[in-house]
Chain A
């Protein structure tokens, strides 16, 4: 399988502070990869850079064989790279349906196709269907996260970047959301999952990178990392 995303020696700075100190990783087509680490390890910074929101000071990112810097921010989604931003970023004063329609903004196919996909999202998350004409901002955190994920899926992404989907949610809702993430991945969407909840992320994904202080300190098979003593000590507290 070919690499959908390749990152080589990536460096990102906020002014004088270097947040990412040269990381190298890759994601293969159809894979589920987790990026785990403690607060301030540089996970979200990495993701923001991949989504075009931050400009790297060094290194290169190759997406589908093209340098990422050659693609404009707003064209990323047309190239199949969708982001579920940290804190969900749903459109609070738009209804659930309108949010989903916004997810399909970049698509040029027929309205019927888009409607079919909206219905499919409602099948995956029946709770969204109940709230179809409700303002997204009035929903619970879990429902908003469901909406954020379905909205990103509406663009028919090839690579889905998920930033902390479990943030601020009850364990029971997190379970449901991760179940869906696994199902989505079966349909052929490649996934990069950034998570604090290392255990859950490692159980969900096939491969994982562990970040610390702006560097990748460990990488490998998720199942192995889950049982790796160093990881357990540092992140799982067991």
Chain B
């Protein structure tokens, strides 16, 4: 089976997936909805992958760009501004204007964040960006005065779904005997955008810019000596990553119909970071897998725990029922299992679940002999030199 066929088959599977899930008992629309969210996380993780995986800039405030996109869409596609006498009518900008706008504005925010942090690396950068993410959230929380832009902690309601004229993704269609429910519509649109984002990421990775990002990650001084403008390349990474976040935020906003600052807490940033690291930094397929696992697993886990909990509570008598209920709570257990899983993965697979060829080679260099250097030497022009050299390559490690 060749590559095109494989990808084609995968695509067909992914398109068919929501219909199958929708028709499966126990799963149904709730799970199609979860798949939709998974797609949004894939977009976010791929965006963060540009910043962390390619350019090596540890950005802990990434969720801020998601928030910017989400709020911008919310404001421009809801009656909120009108209700607060900030606009002459309910805002309803067409999505082909709003979504690119969200991308651009988030990108600008990315550059704004990048600019003061240009000289920082590693943990210092993480702290500054973490602060930035929190600043955005706190702004969203407090921008209900003096002008009510964000409606504060209550958030913005009644956000329009993606629509062209009166044809909305929130309506049900029937096509070829298949019923396209709102969640399925959204999933399919998200899938399309995810495919585009994957395409863009892979093109970036193998481009001149992609290589410049990686060079900067490896050695800033040498990279500058190669003639690359450190400032512009870094800002481009921040901006590019933020763009993905902005688009994802706008889609989130339209999907949920409601945004509030609660969706953009630090924990979310950490989750996205975990997706990138778990899947494999710098590896597109890895990041996609990581995002899907970490967004779907908690839901799966909740279903399982909720099913088991009553059985255990009814049958175990030596522990008080309250304690048992507390311990067997899905959200408590989730963090426990999540933490344990992360520790195990990092211990036994530090390069991630599906690492890029680079990371694999780097971290598992000692496992297998990637090349048998000493055998080559005699066939090359170095043979002349090595002829009068004692044959001690094995012991000195020279030639490796």
Contact = CB atoms under 8 A, between A and B. Distances in A.
Contact of B225 (A85, A94, A134, A176): A85
Contacts, number: 109
B362 A127 contact: no
Contacts of B362: 92-93, 135, 137-138
B119 interface: no
Interface in B371-389: 371, 373, 376-377, 380-382, 385-386, 389
B358 A155 contact: no
B219 A90 contact: yes
A140 interface: yes
A172 B389 contact: yes
Interface string A81-121: 01101000111111000100111011000000000000000
A105 B227 contact: yes
Contacts of A103: 226
Contact of A83 (B208, B225, B228, B373): B225
Nearest to B377: A127
Interface stretch (A12-20, A72-80, A195-203, A228-236): A72-80
B376 A105 contact: no
Contact of B226 (A106, A130, A140, A142): A106
Contact of B221 (A85, A101, A176): A85
A82 B225 CA distance: 7
A171 B380 CA distance: 19
A189 to B, nearest CB: 16
Contacts of A1: none
Contacts of A93: 214, 217-218, 358-359, 362
A165 B332 CA distance: 57
Contacts of A76: 225, 227
A134 B381 contact: no
Contacts of A83: 225
B49 to A, nearest CB: 15
A85 B219 CA distance: 11
B211 A102 contact: yes
Contacts of B381: 126
Contacts of B359: 93
A139 interface: yes
Given A51-B225, A93-B358, A140-B373, 7 more contacts: A89-B225, A91-B214, A98-B214, A126-B380, A130-B380, A140-B397, A172-B386
Q: Which 3 A-B pairs have the closest CB atoms?
A: A106-B227, A89-B222, A77-B227
Interface of B: 208, 211-212, 214-215, 217-219, 221-230, 358-359, 361-362, 365, 370-371, 373, 376-377, 380-382, 385-386, 389, 396-400
